[in-house]
Amino acid sequence: MLNTTAFGESLNRLGYSFFSGVPCSLLKSLINYAMNECRYVIAANEGDAVACCAGSYLAGGKAVFLCQNSGLGNAVSPLASLCHPFHIPVLGFVSLRGDPNEQDEPQHQLMGKITPSLLDHLQITWNYLSFDQQEAQQQLLQADQAIQQKKSFFFIIRKNQFDPVALLPAVDTLQGDGDPRLMLKNRLKRQEILHRIVKDKDQDTIVLATTGYTSRELYAIEDSPQHFYMVGSMGCVSSLALGIALCCPGKKVVAIDGDGALLMRMGNMASIGYHQPNNLLHIVLDNEIHESTGGQASVAKHVNFAAIAAELHYRATFNVNDMANFSRIFQDFIKQPQLSFMDVKTQAGVLEHLPRPRMQPPDLAERFKKAL
């Protein structure tokens, strides 16, 4: 295991003090170091993180891109059509979920297998980062030489690569100091909302849950053929819901999003507003952090999602802070559906001993299809 702080300081000594990325639990320590000690841009998705690093390079800096390999897909376009043609080098650290030598979740298997070849196809030189501190330092020097020759270089990061670094309270760039996590205490819990949805839905209601803890908690609270646990493809739950809502007008479709996931593909909301499915309720469980990957802040704190939804032509939009309100709005939707949006402020916290869906994804999809 590498000493994260020493490794981070080596990066800094080589001039890498600008970081951008999207969190992954395998990169948690390096991200925490970057958030605590360096300039870290919280990107909405991995492609934007690459472009932001490219901007820092054009401004004379040296930038580090951090992402989970599931986000490499989001990064392909700017890597291939910005960094490559303009000879803009990026130093990348990409985690290896779905490592063929480890047990991991089904949604990571394919990307785990193809991560090295995907980097090869992108003509990016890469290496597995060593677990040995001195060797890792040497690898870093080699990577820096590639960057100086205007060639991107990526490290593939495996499980338990970095020792723990605690995340310091975030500096709120809009309102002075403050840790977003501390202000969440009196808010609703994700599990309370999910319990209520499960209790109040009727037989025509379909519930789709976003990536991470939301899918896992919904499954833990109740498994049902009317549920879809969208364990991968972060940010896509509302588009999945849009397709279903348009094709199944007799169903009431509830899409449960996270703030990080919603921000990752916020353009979805414009498509939903344009197509006006009157049987769709889009809920964001807004804890202002990426809780599933270690609690790193998202940029949701100052975003009024409900106001944005209203501008994008959702018919009914709500900011929700208490259960009575949530329950009333949810029951109204079940009785008389209309294109609706709820921004529910939630606090951090997750059910203990959280299971992962036991059924294999193809079986879940078939079961869900039948329910539709």
Ligand X SMILES: Cc1ncc(C[n+]2csc(CCOP(=O)(O)OP(=O)(O)O)c2C)c(N)n1
Which residues are at the interface with ligand X (CB under 6 A)? 22-24, 68, 70-71, 74, 210-214, 232, 234, 258-261, 287, 289-293, 298
Smallest separation (angstroms) from ligand X to the CB of 24: 5
Cα–Cα distance for residue pair 254/241, rounded to 1 Å: 7
Smallest separation (angstroms) from ligand X to the CB of 288: 8
Cα–Cα distance for residue pair 214/351, rounded to 1 Å: 10
Cα–Cα distance for residue pair 258/46, rounded to 1 Å: 17
Smallest separation (angstroms) from ligand X to the CB of 259: 4
Cα–Cα distance for residue pair 99/84, rounded to 1 Å: 27
Torsions phi, psi for 214 (to 5 deg): -65, -45
310: its two tokens: 């209203």
Cα–Cα distance for residue pair 168/260, rounded to 1 Å: 19
| Residue 318 contacts residue 306 (beta carbons within 8 Å) | yes
Give the alpha-carbon dihedral of 37, 39, 42, 43, to 10 degrees: -140
Nearer to ligand X, 22 or 140 (CB): 22
Nearer to ligand X, 24 or 63 (CB): 24
Nearer to ligand X, 144 or 259 (CB): 259
Check residue 323 and give left, alpha or beta (phi > 0: left; psi -120 to 50: alpha).
alpha
Smallest separation (angstroms) from ligand X to the CB of 190: 7
Smallest separation (angstroms) from ligand X to the CB of 338: 25
| Residue 208 contacts residue 235 (beta carbons within 8 Å) | no
Nearer to ligand X, 268 or 292 (CB): 292
Q: Which residue is nearest to ligand X (CB)?
A: 258
Smallest separation (angstroms) from ligand X to the CB of 340: 20
Nearer to ligand X, 42 or 165 (CB): 42
Q: Where are the alpha helices (DSSP H) in the chain?
A: 4-13, 28-37, 46-58, 72-78, 84-86, 106-121, 133-148, 190-200, 213-221, 237-247, 259-264, 267-275, 305-311, 323-335, 361-371
3-state class percentages of the chain: helix first, strand second, coil last, to nearest 5: 45, 20, 30
Cα–Cα distance for residue pair 339/346, rounded to 1 Å: 22
| Residue 196 contacts residue 327 (beta carbons within 8 Å) | yes
98: its two tokens: 């779905």
Smallest separation (angstroms) from ligand X to the CB of 290: 4
Smallest separation (angstroms) from ligand X to the CB of 346: 8
For residue 131, give the DSSP letter: S
Nearer to ligand X, 17 or 161 (CB): 161
Nearer to ligand X, 112 or 232 (CB): 232
Nearer to ligand X, 92 or 212 (CB): 212
Smallest separation (angstroms) from ligand X to the CB of 212: 3
Nearer to ligand X, 354 or 365 (CB): 354
